[in-house]
Chains A and B, each alone.
Chain A
């Protein structure tokens, strides 16, 4: 990775869902699921996107493929703004970006055979003869480690891990460059999780894929991601290379999140200081004034309640949004340089 090439550039992405109320169903507010998110994804890397449930990570992933009409901001994929293009251009761009879904049971049409599911993108975007289509299906099934003889079976006949492989094969069908993995392992049991993650890594090596890996499993993200972004209440609070993020978390939220990761060694686990956040996540329909995290932050200051911290580069490659890390503040807890 000598010259990192930006495959995806997201700037100030906003995804608000209107809340309707009253007799006439007028818009009375908005759920700010994603509220001003900016990041880049480089060619060939895996960007992990972590956060607690409801923080907007799935919405962010779906907005990236424009499965929702975004409220604001721009999403450049290979230099084209996907948030702006019209329906036909969008259709032309679909092959470059695909998605793997969370629930493999729900993301496969129960009435279609595996061959037809995998071939759906082929039918939509390529004109293949019958035998070419068959060959491509077989190739894809080999790639994800499915037995070719299962091509005529239906999704309900497979286990969770196999279903997820079908979903991955479908995502790979058009040779995409960029795949959004929306919690692809959350619905699988632990032994299968490892298989699927290894498969994803394998495919990345072989096909040079770029992933946005959405997960709430911090250890899994540590395993697969090149860089990690932490989201809280619709905003990215910290984005850093994996090693830096896990060893020296900058943002108080990241610190709290990492302290919650269980340690397999009981000796270490017993002596560990867990930082427990109090209170609940505020409603995304009515976020607090100032920093989104100020209601729960253990190191909250006066300025946090007034001003929203800027998301900026605090050290090379590391971005964070916190007043503690601004240069005029000299008390930098948790910062080891």
Chain B
């Protein structure tokens, strides 16, 4: 962008015709802004660490999480078992790794599902006046349903067919992701609808209409980018919510099978030994809270970075 200064030329040549600078991908700007947010960067670092640990961890820490070594039960941290062992002598680190894989993927998938549902309903209700009443009453219906009894009924109804179709673990995974997803999209939908209603009346939407932009591109180009902030916020809260709901389901014994470790299940199992071995509750508790915290920070940084008005300040 900077032109070399030619100071000593007597005859200044006519300025060469410059074309507009090539469009720099806006994602570089987003990344530059994201980097200035210390918390977000730390959060991203930790989240990547968790992701690597749960995906590559089993290659490095080869103990089978379901291997029972009854003689080594209830041990404290040692070199052989850095996080100790549980009441059946299973290695806690291995169980944390394998449980993390389930918990994090349930969290991410359920968040994505509820986000898609919520955004879809919110945008449609806000943008198309005809659908508004119908979709919002539908949302109210879901909000009014008592969540826990509903979960119990759904799980009782669908657990066995899904297990039969996809195998016990995948089946229950789909079930839990689906259940969490379809019971947590309502807040997003309400927030998004409110924002879309306000955005729709802005002059730039009118300007786009005067250009002849059709509705679908109006939504993708003008509406969605401007409702990104509330969506980001509910996304990050959604991950946390999904991990915790999954823990609650495991805690109630409705989640994954009892020998299948998840962070929620580990927490549940350890509460029985809270008095004797309090450190055993700490590991899954810490993992859940730190993951949730890191995701919240990432979302915070991302929201700021995606807003051009904040970017570059």
* A binding-site residues for B, Cβ under 8 Å: 62, 65, 67, 90-91, 94-95, 98-99, 101-103, 106-113, 115, 120-121, 124-125, 134-135, 137-138, 141, 148-149, 151-152, 154, 156, 167, 170
Contact = CB atoms under 8 A, between A and B. Distances in A.
Contacts of A121: 211-212
B214 interface: yes
A110 B226 contact: yes
Interface residue SS majority, chain A: helix
Interface in B210-248: 210-214, 217, 221-222, 225-226, 228
Contacts of A67: 206, 209-210
The 9 closest A-B pairs by CB, nearest first: A94-B212, A154-B308, A107-B203, A138-B20, A106-B203, A111-B225, A151-B20, A148-B20, A91-B212
Contacts of A120: 208, 211, 213, 221
B165 interface: no
Interface residues of B, number: 31
Contacts of B217: 124
Nearest to B205: A109
Contacts of A112: 221, 225
Contacts, number: 94
Given A106-B203, A121-B211, A170-B207, A152 B19 contact: no
Given A113-B23, A148-B20, A98 B204 contact: no
Interface string B238-262: 0000000000000000000000000
Contact of A94 (B24, B210, B222, B309): B210
Nearest to A93: B212
A259 to B, nearest CB: 33
Contacts of B228: 111
Most A CB contacts (10 A, CB to CB) among B203, B206, B214 go to B203
B26 interface: yes
B79 interface: no
Contacts of B210: 65, 67, 94, 98-99
Most B CB contacts (10 A, CB to CB) among A62, A101, A138, A152 go to A152
B211 A152 contact: no
